[in-house]
Amino acid sequence: MFRFRWAVGGIAVLLPLSLLVIAGFLLQYSWPAIQFNGLGFLLNNDWNLGRMYGNPVTVRGELVLPGASYGVLFLIGGTLLSSLIAIALALPLGVLSAVFLSAGLRGVARAAASFLVELLAAVPSVVYGLWGYVVLIPFLGHHLYPLLADTLGRIFPAFAEPTGSGYGLFTAGILLSFMIVPLIAATLRDALDATDSALRESGVALGASRIEVMRHILLPGQRTVIAGASILALGRALGETMAVLMVSGNALNILPKNIYDPVSTMAAFIVSQLDSAMQDPTGMAVRSLAEVALLLMAISVLVNGAAQTLLWLSGRRA
């Protein structure tokens, strides 16, 4: 009688199952690396494959190359810093754009403008990377960064010289912010449009202008939506790979001293290190990369879970 329901349900289980299988396989594969690296993995700043032509030695029960050590503090720093810069730039940009789309335009212009913002999300990551590499980096390196160092740099040491070549933390943050703005803008615009029009009308009846209704009545009511969308966007920024890889400068084993310094992120590092990690005959380097992937997955699952919960609480998600 209910065979169809069971068949469809059986297929539906594949979805959550794939999440569990991914986590399970990553954990199982990286287990030797977790044993070998211990807590130093998170606290140390030395990714070193060891002497390639030395005889493997046994350390803490695992076979590794002599001198090998895997610490990824610089990756955690680079990932969090670039994502935080991205959010700091994208949040005001996204909220203001959503207000413009919701209150400033109507009719065809509004549909076209909304579509334009959503197209930003459709452009592939690697095309952003290409644009960042050939357009954004020369512009920032030659024009904006010297200017920033000259003005903000006098007040905030993080903005002071040297400005470098244009590759680095701030460039990655700026590029990431453009990639995540559409998510914030689109979610907030939908939420603003869905608010009860009686709220809007009562504001207008009290003599408030359209912008005052937005500022004092509509936006305060969307706090959870803004927070949820921002955290969702943060999760997107944490996992971005290709665009960051092409503009971040791929720093190894250093934490940035100022905002222009080269960095690397977990996602970009996994791509850039596979070739050299495969040279390791003991396989510990590839397993340590799996540990990086597992860490990245854990962070993004936490961040996404928090965002979903927030959006669910605000009633925007079923």
Partner 1 sequence: MSAVTPTGRRIDRARLRRRRFIDLAYWFAVAAAFTLLAFVLLHILGYVFVRGVQSLGLETFTTDTQGLAGGLRNAILGSLELSGFALLLAAPIGVSAGIYLSEWGGGWVGRIARFMSDVLVGVPSIVLGYFGYITMVLYLGWQFSMAAGAITLAILMLPYIARTSEMALRAQPWSLREAAYALGAGERRVVLRALLPAARGPIFTGILLALAISLGETAPLIYTVNWSNYSWNGHFTHEPVAYLTYVIWSYIGEPYASAHKLAYAAALLITLMVLVINLGARALLWRRR
Name which of residues 130 to 159 contact partner 1 (CB under 8 A). 130-131, 133-135
Q: Taking CB under 8 A as the rule, does residue 176 contact partner 1?
A: no
Interface map 192-211 toward partner 1 (x if CB under 8 A): -----------------x-x
Closest CB 185 distance from partner 1, rounded Å: 8
Closest CB 157 distance from partner 1, rounded Å: 28
Distance CA 248, CA 265 (A): 8
Q: Pick from 34, 42, 63, 293: which binds partner 1 (CB under 8 A)?
A: 293
Closest CB 84 distance from partner 1, rounded Å: 17
Binding segment toward partner 1, per CB under 8 A, in 67-75, 160-168, 196-204, 268-276: 268-276
Instruction: Give the pair of three-digit tokens for residue 281.
Output: 């005959």
- Judge whether 103 and 214 are in contact, CB under 8 Å: yes
Q: Pick from 12, 43, 109, 206: which binds partner 1 (CB under 8 A)?
A: 12
| Alpha-carbon separation of residue 209 from 97, 213, 248, 297 (angstroms) | 18, 6, 44, 46
Neighbours of 249 (CB within 10 A): 21
| Number of residues in contact with partner 1 under rule CB under 8 A | 83
Q: Pick from 32, 71, 129, 141: which binds partner 1 (CB under 8 A)?
A: 129
Restricted to residues 40-99, the positions that interact with partner 1 (CB under 8 A) are 92-93, 96-97, 99
Whether residue 162 has a cis bond before it, omega within 30° of 0: yes
Distance CA 287, CA 76 (A): 18
Q: Pick from 43, 88, 116, 199: which binds partner 1 (CB under 8 A)?
A: 116
Distance CA 269, CA 250 (A): 7
- Judge whether 235 and 300 are in contact, CB under 8 Å: yes
> Is 162 or 301 the residue whose CB approaches partner 1 more closely?
301
All residues at 6 or more sequence positions from 188 whose CB lies less than 8 Å from its CB, including other chains: 94, 95, 98, 222, 225, 226, 229
Binding segment toward partner 1, per CB under 8 A, in 70-78, 141-149, 235-243, 248-256: 235-243
Binding segment toward partner 1, per CB under 8 A, in 14-22, 157-165, 221-229, 253-261: 14-22
Closest CB 20 distance from partner 1, rounded Å: 8
Q: Pick from 119, 147, 194, 313: which binds partner 1 (CB under 8 A)?
A: 119
Instruction: Give the pair of three-digit tokens for residue 38.
Output: 């211990």
Q: In this structure, is the dihedral angle defined by the CA atoms of residues 186, 187, 188 and 194, taken in order, positive or negative? A: positive
